[in-house]
Structure 1
């Protein structure tokens, strides 16, 4: 109980209600600019910002995110209502599209600006306790630090952006399934680009629910339209994950789950449920060894400041290794059949002999 209280205090101290979304055009002259597309089911509040309310319709936007100079690799600094462009991530421009067709044309133009081999879309789905701006900041950070190719899109579902809003966020994640499905259909309508889904924490539960409903509505849709899935620290019960996965006729390849056995946030989530672990902090692969997925254990790259809850995109050491991996761009992110992420210095854990379909990698810091 003392550990749980400590984690709660840590979370509350580190995070606050982050609904403000100021736009600072001058930031474009300060930092490195990244354009990201946004689909959101947040409603616009009285201040003209996309806050915590739930919108029945999907809003489509494009943001220019300014990344501050001299920042630490893997870091995201949110200045909330008073960002400083020389220190914080900042929204430098925000364009709201009037219709699906206008968004589709803009997305098509962005895809066409890349070499033919890089005309794919990385679609990021954030987790619990995130604001509208933070989801844009995180996909911009990952695109920059991991050198992700192609076009970058984030789905900003109506999280309360408050550490005490866990139940609200759970309801919002269920509410947001149709919006994510609509966004995926819209992306695929733009010249049929490859979609790589990247989700974090509670966003992984949203992604799995959406993939499940897409394949129930049209069996085989996921396998035909999603090139890869990467779940970062997924806040999902293992039994629920297996049930969701069972309704997907053909799983995307690769289907990667990144876990940390030291994930303090998922440890708390598990205890609140009366469970030992969630999918994102499983202690071994036995419970999922028969599934066609790759489990990557990043426990060795501990990050106490984040409670080890965003190691894959927040650990400078791991980011450097991923950036040096020659297979990351050519196979891992593009989802070529049979690919396995190889991290320099990593040691592979063999799956049980009776279940040879799963690979698991335990990363060892050198």
Structure 2
């Protein structure tokens, strides 16, 4: 156990506490700007910034995120309390809505400004060890690098933003369920029928818990209100995932789980629990083969900075391939006859006599 804990500290040692959230108006004229809507259950700290504390009320905001002009594809650079816009991501503006109506009106206006066939909302839910700003930065990076259409919303739950805050974050992810449910209702109230949820790591567990909660209150809610779910490296015990999934009356389609058998962070997470794997690093699809989901295996790609824990958003090679696909070609992921994935060489493998399928993407195997 000591060796495992030491390994966890070493893997995450490069990550510092990142709770600072300065506003840098000058950044707006330096880099590429992305407008991100935000819902957060973080409380304000003594400096008036959204820190690590938990708030019982949901705050609704809109941020302008400046992406540095010469950054590497897939990268997010955080200058913490002293960002340099030429090098770092930065908050160029942050507007707080006093109530839900202002948020809904702004989101509706943003959607109305898009082409009619691009009016979906991508809702990103971050994982362990993230700050308020890093959650917004990651949504902006994904939107830019993957060329996501529509409007973009980030749910910033009260992670400690520290590599040694795993237990705090796990408790916070449970605390944050009501806030995420409220945020999804606000998005729907803006007249948006097409919500695509993208969740990373521990955020995947938060999403599944929230969908389960909504389904218990209103059976069929997920199927009526969520058009797709993509879990990136989900830090979820497989038995718990199956229990959560069983509550969903009508499963959003597509429902995609992206996994890497080389995910070092999930390997440690699994061992700390005395398990062989978590959902995000399963070695094969047999444990979920009876579920109507698509498992996308990205083991052939590498994102060494994250310990292969954020390959879909951090691997330049995979990002380039995903750019060529159309939202991972929904018809392919749903298993429609005759459908073709536009990622070169990708193949769909149906698990014999089961419902799940595995998409294998060949790449920079290591």
TM-score by length of 2: 0.95
Equivalent residue, structure 2, for 1:365:
363
Structure 1 unaligned runs (5+)? Answer: none
Equivalent residue, structure 2, for 1:212:
212
Shift in Å, 1:87:
0.4
C-alpha distance in 1 between matches for 2:253 and 2:103:
28
C-alpha distance in 2 between matches for 1:237 and 1:13:
25
Q: Contact conserved, 2:9 with 2:164, CA < 8 A, in 1?
A: no
- 1:81-121 per-residue CA deviation (whole Å, 9 max, x = no partner) reads 11110000000000011110111111111010101111110
Equivalent residue, structure 1, for 2:195:
195
C-alpha distance in 2 between matches for 1:202 and 1:84:
29
Equivalent residue, structure 1, for 2:82:
82
1:150-229 correspondence to structure 2 within 5 Å: 150-229=150-229
Q: Contact conserved, 1:61 with 1:97, CA < 8 A, in 2?
A: yes
Shift in Å, 1:344:
1.6
- 1:317-366 per-residue CA deviation (whole Å, 9 max, x = no partner) reads 000001112x3276379x97847855322233331x221x2110122116
Query: What SS class does the counterpart of residue 161 from structure 1 fall into?
Result: coil
Query: What SS class does the counterpart of residue 13 from structure 2 fall into?
Result: helix
Shift in Å, 1:190:
1.0
Equivalent residue, structure 2, for 1:234:
234
Equivalent residue, structure 1, for 2:353:
354
Shift in Å, 1:10:
2.9
Query: What SS class does the counterpart of residue 183 from structure 1 fall into?
Result: helix
C-alpha distance in 2 between matches for 1:11 and 1:58:
33
Q: Contact conserved, 2:324 with 2:342, CA < 8 A, in 1?
A: no
1:205-284 correspondence to structure 2 within 5 Å: 205-284=205-284
C-alpha distance in 2 between matches for 1:252 and 1:126:
20
Indicate whether 1:54 and 2:43 are aligned: no
Report the CA distance shift for 1:75/1:173 in structure 2 as closer, same or farther (over 3 A). same
Shift in Å, 1:6:
5.5
Q: Contact conserved, 1:254 with 1:337, CA < 8 A, in 2?
A: no
Query: What SS class does the counterpart of residue 291 from structure 2 fall into?
Result: coil
Structure 2 unaligned runs (5+)? Answer: none
Q: Contact conserved, 2:20 with 2:80, CA < 8 A, in 1?
A: yes
- 1:278-301 per-residue CA deviation (whole Å, 9 max, x = no partner) reads 000000000001100000000000
C-alpha distance in 2 between matches for 1:74 and 1:345:
22
- 1:292-321 per-residue CA deviation (whole Å, 9 max, x = no partner) reads 000000000022221000000110000000
- More displaced 10-residue stretch of structure 1: 235-244 or 11-20: 11-20
Query: What SS class does the counterpart of residue 328 from structure 1 fall into?
Result: coil
Paired residue total:
362
Q: Contact conserved, 1:258 with 1:296, CA < 8 A, in 2?
A: yes
Shift in Å, 1:16:
1.0
Equivalent residue, structure 2, for 1:323:
323
Indicate whether 1:296 and 2:296 are aligned: yes
Report the CA distance shift for 1:337/1:104 in structure 2 as closer, same or farther (over 3 A). farther
CA-atom RMSD in angstroms: 1.8
